[in-house]
Amino acid sequence: MTKMISGFSKLTKEEKINWLVENYFDNNSNAINTIKQYWHDDKKLQQLHDDFIENTVSNFYLPMGVAPNFLINGKEYAVPMVTEESSVVAAASLVAKFWSTKGGFKTTVLGTTKIGQVHFMFAGDTATLERYFKEKKIALVAATASITKNMEKRGGGILDIKLVDKTAELENYYQLHITFETKDSMGANFINSCLEAIAGEFRNDAIEIVMSILSNYVPECLVRAEVSCKIEELGVPNPQKFVEKFYQAVKIAEIEPYRAVTHNKGIMNGVDAVVIATGNDFRAVEAGVHAYAARSGKYTSLSHCAIDDGVFKFWLDLPLALGTVGGITALHPLAKLSLEMLQQPSAKELMQIIATAGLAQNFAALRALTTSGIQHGHMKMHLQNILNQLGASLREKEKITRFFEGKTVSHAAVVSKFEEINKR
């Protein structure tokens, strides 16, 4: 019997759940209990969450932690982080405190330009199209006046419109390449509305509009975060050897794509956790960042290291299109609380905080990799997850945690110790 259904979106939440349980959970009442267990008792709050997306049946929780002791451009921060991965928050906290005694993190916003494009086909003479574009350019901007009015009051709006010939790569393909400043808004809806208005004004019988859409590749919406100190101030055993191995690890990530992907994933552990906590779009950030990492035609490290005249320097540049007003940032209670925790940052300030979280995470990973190894700290943090999976009691958790103090943690070793305790 088919499980296909029409009109699912029109069912009530209870009806959706009943249909799911009947068709995909073999009428298991435990499935219903689990789904409803994560509903908010506050019906108004639950309705708010239900309205974020379509066909909601429950809420999917992720832990929210805080990494204190970040010193960024002389200002102190406690940084909210939402992630399911063990050791991310601990590593960020440790590194934040480490660098707070060495001048902290320095950040600079290198640009805030965002991009949208109108993609179209034109089979005629290029010179004719160029004349038409020049004639229409003022009208294209004017077509967005009602949309851009409020944004312009805040110092934003359309920066420029260019005609780009892409016919060498795809027959008859051209685009209008439009740059925007959206201030504290991420600006996706604003940009897309402008693009559609521009496309409507630009089209004629010879121009076929294919689509109008913003780009999540924002190489000119860029922020730099860095740390530096004298080598002897690093406070580690044999600091010269430490920085040399650290430098080599970064250089390997610059030339070896297999390593670079994992290297950059570590950066994104910190970045995504704060992006999610503040209600921003982590998929857009991920896509834009990884495109930037491959901008040379080869995927490479986002972070870089230098050792000059006895000074260690570590930095990264990240393209980050973020918002602190509008969207989920203005609706989700914890996203709003995260921004309040960060002292109500502007979009520029949030770029700097998030880039710093990424750099801190990368420093923590490289320091572990080039000294004790990544698994020692990670598996120690992962121990509680393993014990929870085994259903260990509080007494068993305490006993096993004490046993593994100073020892290497592995899943097999934890299971073995758990079984040993339960055989007695």
411 is catalytic: no
**In the annotation, is 171 catalytic?**
no
* 3-class SS string, the chain: CCCCCCCHHHCCHHHHHHHHHHHHCCCCHHHHHHHHHCCCCCHHHHHHHHCCCCCCCCCCCCCEEEEEEEEECCEEEEEEEECCCCCHHHHHHHHHHHHHCCCCEEEEECCCCEEEEEEEEECCCHHHHHHHHHHHHHHHHHCCHHHHHHHHHCCCEEEEEEEEECCCCCCCEEEEEEEEECCCECCHHHHHHHHHHHHHHHCCCCEEEEEEEEECCCCCCEEEEEEEEEHHHHCCCCHHHHHHHHHHHHHHHHHCHHHHHHHHHHHHHHHHHHHHHCCCCHHHHHHHHHHHHCCCCCCCCCEEEEEECCEEEEEEEEECCCCCECHHHHCCHHHHHHHHHCCCCCHHHHHHHHHHHHHHHHHHHHHHHCCCCHHHHHHHHHHHHHHHHCCCCHHHHHHHHHHCCCCCCCHHHHHHHHHHHHHC
Query: Catalytic one among 245, 265, 336, 397?
Result: 265
Task: Mark whether 399 is an active-site residue.
Answer: no
The residue annotated as part of the active site, out of 181, 196, 281, 317, is 281
Choose, from 49, 85, 201, 304, the residue flagged as catalytic: 85
281 classed as catalytic: yes
Among 16, 114, 136, 378, the one annotated catalytic: 378
- Which residue, 287, 289, 286, is CA-closest to 273? 286
As annotated, the active-site residues are 85, 265, 281, 378
